[in-house]
Structure 1
Amino acid sequence: MKIKDIFKLVIFTLLSVSFVTAQSEKQKALEAERQRILKEINQLNSLNRQVKKKETSVLKQVEDVNYKITIRQNLIKVTNDQANQLTREINTNQKEITTLRDQLKELKEDYARMIVKSYKSKSEQSKVMFLLSSDNFKQAYKRLQYINQYKGYQKKQAEDIKAKTLKLQDLNLELSKQKEDKNKLIAENRKVKKELEAEKKAQDELMALIRKDLKKYTAEIRQKRQEADRIDKEINRLIREAIATSNKKAGKKTSTGKFVLTPAGKALSVNFGANKGKLGWPVDRGIVKLKFGLQRSLIDRTVTENSFGIRIATENNAKVKAVFKGEVSRVMLIKNSNPAVLVRHGDYLTIYRNLSKIYVKAGDKIETGREIGEVFTNRTTGESLLYFRINKNDKNLDPEKWLTKR
């Protein structure tokens, strides 16, 4: 094999290893996401079993079916991405197998020529005679070096053949497993697609029922939206009040809607900010039923909901935990609504609303994971919903960007 060919082979091998590693990492990430979605589906099914004997409104049924459809669509997309990624990895492995087979063939041919040459050399004259026929000691030494180098080269060729053969076997096994994994993913996707079709059919039936009395359901949605707006506005007012009270105690008067921080408060705020995407969940088990930001009603697209936090469906009587260490700023008592707890972390705030029991009081210093109360369970619907918000001063943040992925 020429030096130029060897150089090309080394470069190709390095690039192949780098590409395969990148593909493998992507496959791991996709599988982790798929497992997360499957876990979310299992949690949803578990929560639905808890409330199946309760009275369920048509609007809630629409919400639940739509949520299921969204999850199934996400699962199908991720599974398709995995199958496509596996196809790319299979193609890469097949190319590498072809390259290895060519290399192995060339190595074996080279090795065979070397063995034949070695045999002929041995039959024509012994190595001893080859050394003794030297004109001087220096030539004899060089001949001895040549013999040893030739032996080493033979040994290296044999080792290379063995290594290439083992790698080829491993690649063939990996290729078989990849094809098997791909077939499993395709089969799973077929099953999920059937479930998705059934859920879309159920959604169509519910929407047909709603259209028969659209005014009634639209009025119900608007009423719920107005009540939610009222509660959010009250919480926003209480947050601004908490900021003003804190600043007044610190001897500062400001109307900027921002906390005046002590050195300790600044350190706590920096620590909280450094944990973005790493905060634990406020409940052990739960799924996000309402996301942050502007949402449009499924029933009437003219009705919007600007969600200042997220709504988490969880288990009955679920314990609520502080997502980060801090101080209980206040327990919020809101008219026609269940209590909420406001916890301060420097100039960050976490709000836990719709509680049935509260274990803390204003001024309590709490650590991460401290139980602060229990989620209220609606006796009529059987639902347990925690409304969770994160603020920096009076600015609303998307909690899902701060919580760790499950």
Structure 2
Amino acid sequence: MKLNKSLLLLLFIFSVSLVRAQSSSELKRKKEAIQREIELLQRNLNKTANNKKLTLGQINALNTKIKLMQDKITVINSEIKNLDNQIHENTNTVITLKGQLNQLKKEYAAMIRFAQRNKNAYDKMMFIFAAKDFNQAYKRIKYLQQFGQYRKKQAGYIQGTQKDLNYKIVVLDKNLKEKSSLLHEQENEKDKLGKNKSQQSAVLSKYSKQEKQYRQDIATRKKQQAQLDRSIRAAIAREIALERKRAEEAARAAAAKAAAAAAAKARAENRPVPAAPVAKPKESSGGYMAATPEAARLSAAFESNRGSLPWPVAAGSITESFGKHKEGQASYDNAGVTIQTAEGAGVRAVFNGKVTKVGNALGRYYILIKHGQFFTVYQNLRSVSVSAGDDVTTKQNIGTVASSGDVPELQFQIYRGTAAQNPAAWIAK
């Protein structure tokens, strides 16, 4: 019974430790991912450090970096909490194993004392021959044999428990060292965060001095962005109109074919020829005419990948989110997300589709890709490697990112028909 309980306890501890280890490894991966984003933003900030003129990209990069540093401290706190739980569990296990070891040693010592008192072979023989009958004598022989085997097993249990105890003491010591290292890392990150907040205060002070010019620059840039977004929506609307026209023509052709077949059958059967049906293509859920079966499958596949689409750049950080924003008294709408990335980074298609437009605005390229009833937009490209009409595949390189105010950033948008979607809800976390 005691052995079974001990085994069940160790099995439970092992399963809990495995879950903790998985959780710790996830936290470690998350922390490393955050650190990569911080380093990327810092490289961009280092390149623009000597710029006298403040840009929106710089401010967004600094604000995002501070938020990421706070996120990293939160992850470290979670790691410390996990370790505290592990230390508590391992300490309890060490205490339990020590108690079991002491009990096993006491039982073993009692057996040894009993064996010492009865070590004389004459005494054993007397014990056997003193039996009332042959059956009892046989049982006494078996008892002596089992007693010897049990003593050997008990010695094995002691050795095994001692081994488990030594292992748990080593793990506990490792936990304590790891916690000490994390506490040191936490202090370093807090110190860095404090310095970055001081830098943020200096930037805001610089902003207040250049506020008028800064607001004018933002207003100009956002006006240009709004014009570009309108032209992209117009391009999408034209593509929808073409799709509707193609659907109407296909419906008319199908109706004419059906009417001709019905008329031929009526004449053959000497019946009046029925009136031709009015051709009406079906409306799709996207608000325009139903696409071809291939396009419908592409739409369904795109939608089924919501939350797991690859990023349009291999590495980057979202510095401006989707939706409404306010700068001073002015407010503006971001139809997508702004992603800061490395200088000269390649831009990738996030899903299979067809390039419907490659345009140029303000000395920068943009690409519109159709995925059934969905569209993805890639703005602020320095160069492009695809043309209108090209079929593209997931993660295919379609161009390179340009810099906005010396900061390399991509404006990425997703539309369902002409309705803008939040890309953060579609791309992988």
Matches within 5 A, 1:68-147: 68-123=65-120, 125=122, 130=127, 138-147=135-144
Count of residues paired in the alignment? 396
- 388, 399, 417: which one pairs with 1:362? 388
> SS at the partner of 1:279?
coil
Matches within 5 A, 1:319-398: 319-328=346-355, 330-333=356-359, 335-336=361-362, 338-378=364-404, 381-398=405-422
How far residue 277 of structure 1 moved from its aligned partner, in angstroms, is 3.9
Question: In structure 2, what is the equivalent of residue 318 of structure 1?
Answer: 345
Letter in 1 for 2:409: L
**Structure 1 alignment gaps of length 5 or more:** none
Normalised by the length of structure 1, the TM-score is 0.85
Letter in 1 for 2:330: V
Q: Residues 29 and 296 (structure 1 numbering): CA distance in 2 closer, same or farther, change over 3 Å?
A: farther
**Structure 2 alignment gaps of length 5 or more:** 249-280
Output the CA distance in 2 between the equivalents of 1:6 and 1:176.
27
Letter in 1 for 2:93: E
Output the CA distance in 1 between the equivalents of 2:83 and 2:239.
54
Using the TM superposition, name which of 268-277 and 24-33 deviates more: 268-277
Output the CA distance in 1 between the equivalents of 2:33 and 2:101.
43
Using the TM superposition, name which of 134-143 and 189-198 deviates more: 134-143
- Whichever of the two has the greater Rg, that structure is 2
Q: Residues 108 and 264 (structure 1 numbering): CA distance in 2 closer, same or farther, change over 3 Å?
A: farther
- 1:209 equivalent to 2:236? Answer no
Q: Residues 150 and 332 (structure 1 numbering): CA distance in 2 closer, same or farther, change over 3 Å?
A: same
**In the TM superposition, what whole-angstrom CA distance separates every residue of 1:335-381 from its partner, at most 9, and x where no partner exists?**
54633222233333322111222222233222222221222245xx3
Letter in 2 for 1:178: N
Output the CA distance in 2 between the equivalents of 1:146 and 1:270.
74
Question: In structure 2, what is the equivalent of residue 154 of structure 1?
Answer: 151
> SS at the partner of 1:34?
helix
How far residue 86 of structure 1 moved from its aligned partner, in angstroms, is 1.3
Question: In structure 2, what is the equivalent of residue 192 of structure 1?
Answer: 189
Letter in 2 for 1:314: T
Normalised by the length of structure 2, the TM-score is 0.81
Question: In structure 2, what is the equivalent of residue 221 of structure 1?
Answer: 218
> SS at the partner of 1:122?
coil
**Residues 311 and 388 in structure 1, CA contact (< 8 A), matched pair in contact too:** yes
Question: In structure 2, what is the equivalent of residue 248 of structure 1?
Answer: 245
How far residue 36 of structure 1 moved from its aligned partner, in angstroms, is 0.8
Matches within 5 A, 1:249-264: 249-251=246-248, 252=281, 254=283, 257-258=287-288, 260-264=290-294
Cα RMSD (Å) of the superposition?
3.0
Output the CA distance in 2 between the equivalents of 1:213 and 1:52.
16
How far residue 26 of structure 1 moved from its aligned partner, in angstroms, is 1.9
Output the CA distance in 1 between the equivalents of 2:289 and 2:368.
14
**Residues 312 and 350 in structure 2, CA contact (< 8 A), matched pair in contact too:** yes
Question: In structure 2, what is the equivalent of residue 175 of structure 1?
Answer: 172
- 1:286 equivalent to 2:316? Answer yes
Output the CA distance in 1 between the equivalents of 2:157 and 2:229.
71
Letter in 2 for 1:186: L
> SS at the partner of 1:351?
strand
